[in-house]
Structure 1
């Protein structure tokens, strides 16, 4: 099976799909809890540089963002979209990179969105796109530069990062097609075909039309920003294949893409490398923004 043909993964046996996308099975309970604690502790430390918290970005859903490190002069902004298989976590655990970025003149925005099964994936995607539109429209009020928006996220947040750099949604939200200037999807899910047949269906139903409309791999834009598709060496196999396939699709469309496997990291701790500027992942993000 070609790494580019991500749709063919849906034809794999269900048992293999479940294994290939079960990140929790790759770490112990103790390691998982320790890593979640690092998310929370690092994000709590970022509160000292908060510019604004609980800012409503979407009146329809009432969802909010937290903004860190905005400047007197508008700064480039990294928008972080959390993971959790679309059913867990929040912006409260999603600002651990803000102090490192603020020290280099870059603001951070952590995004909340409603979770499954309260809402479906189409609504989750609409909400994160609304967050990007809000920052483009209102960012200067918070010391952010609307012309320098960069987006990243981990796991389900990697999928949602792909959703905001996909084509076909910008006009409806009143933003230019190049509203996002660069993206860092980490351990992302770009073709939802196999996910629709996996254990994720216990809390998130994906129809064939959902797969077609909401898979970034099936909605490559006409004009794409530079991306870094990163994943951990300790990922379950499916996540690595997804990043490899999306990278290949992005390059095939003529866009700038870097594929990055991070050694000595697993699915949950890889994104914590954004806390420190001297890591491979943070270096890629800083270079993109510069």
Structure 2
């Protein structure tokens, strides 16, 4: 299940590269395999890495007023939402239902977190989630709130980490995500997941990376070769919002690579037309008041997919911003249209699960309403 644009999500299932558990064996029960000393060592290593990469990134950014103003706004935004973030952090570090930093590859960021339901009464549907972060600040823990809430509905969530810029460029990110997805397909049965019900979901930059990875897999299967929707239209837009042209092009490996990593452009290539038939059903969710990635991007991508025979569905949320659907609304608790759509898509063919969903209690509010409204006003996204 992939989500495009902070509010744009895309749902699809795939049954490739899976390994089944031996007959008669039981799924591994979730457990906290992380010792305190291991956590400290891992945190120290990541702190060193992040510090070094931060200084490298600062050399790229210089003293541009746009990104500095957005950095300040990001700090204020995070402080306003801190009551909710602290509760999610406590769950992330201390819940027995979270297994952190499972290794899926040989790169420093090739780690994923697994969020488990409280019961293990049979194979569970699985969501592979790829976080956003402008290709620069993505981190697997950003998916903890989603992981917690989906786990409450009997869904296993695998939150993938991947190399960010400047540690890696777009091809590295796509490679990492593809490897993480393959790991889930090959191993999730050992953790109680159902390999026949795996969904890929991405948010913001994670949606773009996920779409690239999914299209690459389809191309590989159709031809035996490897190869935001249309990056060509986003260069100037991102520059005006603080992600300067030089940084954006460095992340995307130069202007000549933009068409390669623009799914809406790539899918139109006649040489890979057969790949479209291998794409899963896709749902794009987007807020109409998203100014970071305008909803026109999802509309154009849905149109491009439809023209090559894919089956996209586009859901627009009037008045929703880049962060409303993924942060403010979930932190608000109660009814959440995006969450309800995601659950309905995953449980579409499971009457028992749908009946449980209908009886589920309202989700708990994590942040007072005045703080949420102030955060929305100063959000840098």
Both proteins in one fold, TM over 0.5 = yes
Separation in 2 of the partners of 1:270 and 1:210?
31
Deviations 1:135-177 (A, max 9, x none): 01111122222222111122101112212321456748xx9xx
Residue number among 247, 260, 268 corresponding to 1:203 in the alignment: 247
Alpha carbons 1:46, 1:98 under 8 Å: kept: no
Q: Check if 1:58 corresponds to 2:105.
A: yes
For 2:345, the equivalent position in structure 1 comes to: 288
Q: Which residue of 2 aligns with 1:123?
A: 172
Higher strand share: 1
**1:214 equivalent among 243, 261, 276:** 261
Alpha carbons 1:212, 1:218 under 8 Å: kept: yes
Aligned-partner SS, 2:171: helix
Residue matched to 1:278? 335
Give the structure-1-normalised TM-score: 0.75
Which of 258, 265, 273 is residue 320 of structure 2 equivalent to?
A: 265
Rounded to whole Å, the distance in 2 between the matches of 1:265 and 1:35 is 18
Find the counterpart in structure 1 of residue 191 from structure 2.
Answer: 142
SS of the equivalent of 1:97 reads: helix
Q: Point out the more displaced range, 124-133 or 222-231.
A: 222-231
Q: 1:247: how far off?
A: 1.4
Taking a change above 3 Å as real, the CA distance of residues 55 and 249 of structure 1, as seen in their structure-2 partners, is same
Report which stretch shifted further, 247-256 or 122-131. 247-256
Q: Note the C-alpha offset of 1:266.
A: 1.7
Paired residues of 1:277 and 1:283 also in contact (CA < 8 A): no
* Matches of 1:247 and 1:137, distance apart in 2: 30
CA displacement, residues 6-36 of structure 1 (integer Å, 9 cap, x when unaligned)? xxxxxxxxxxxxxxxxxx59x8863454357
The match for 1:105 is 154
The answer to which structure, 1 or 2, has the higher relative contact order (CA under 8 A, 6+ apart) is 2
1:192 equivalent in alignment to 2:231:
yes
Find the counterpart in structure 1 of residue 288 from structure 2: 233
Distance 1:99 1:168 in 2: 29
Aligned residue in 1 for 2:143: 94
Distance change in 2, residues 1:245/1:37 (3 Å): farther
Contact 2:92 2:98 in 1 (8 A): no
| Aligned partners of 1:57 and 1:63 also within 8 Å | yes
Is the CA contact 1:247–1:258 (under 8 Å) kept in the aligned structure 2?
yes
How many residues are aligned here?
251
Decide whether the 8 Å contact of 1:167 with 1:219 is kept in 2: no
The answer for unaligned runs of 5 or more in structure 2 is 1-69, 268-274, 348-381
User: 1:255, CA displacement in angstroms?
Assistant: 2.6
The DSSP-based 3-state class of the residue aligned with 1:251 is helix
8 A Cα contact 1:77 1:109, kept in partner: yes
Deviates more, 1:251-260 or 1:196-205: 196-205
- Say if 1:43 and 1:209 are closer, same or farther in 2 by CA, change over 3 A: farther
What displacement does 1:98 show?
Answer: 2.1
The structure whose Rg is larger is 2
Kept in 2: contact 1:83–1:156 (CA 8 A)? yes
Write out per-residue CA displacement over residues 178-217 of structure 1, whole angstroms, 9 at most, x where no aligned residue.
xxxxxxxxxxx11111334543344341324421222221
Q: Which residue of 2 aligns with 1:45?
A: 91
Structure 1 alignment gaps of length 5 or more: 1-23, 176-188
Assess if the C-alpha contact under 8 Å between 1:58 and 1:130 holds in 2: yes
Give the corresponding residue for 2:302: 247
Normalising by structure 2, we get a TM-score of 0.58
Which structure dedicates a bigger proportion of its chain to helix? Answer: 2
RMSD over aligned CA atoms reads: 2.9
Question: 2:129 matched to 1:69?
Answer: no
Q: In 1, distance between residues paired with 2:116 and 2:295? A: 32
Deviation, 1:237, is 7.0
SS across alignment from 2:104: strand
Task: Tell me: CA distance 1:170–1:238, structure 2 relative to 1, closer, same or farther (3 Å).
Answer: closer
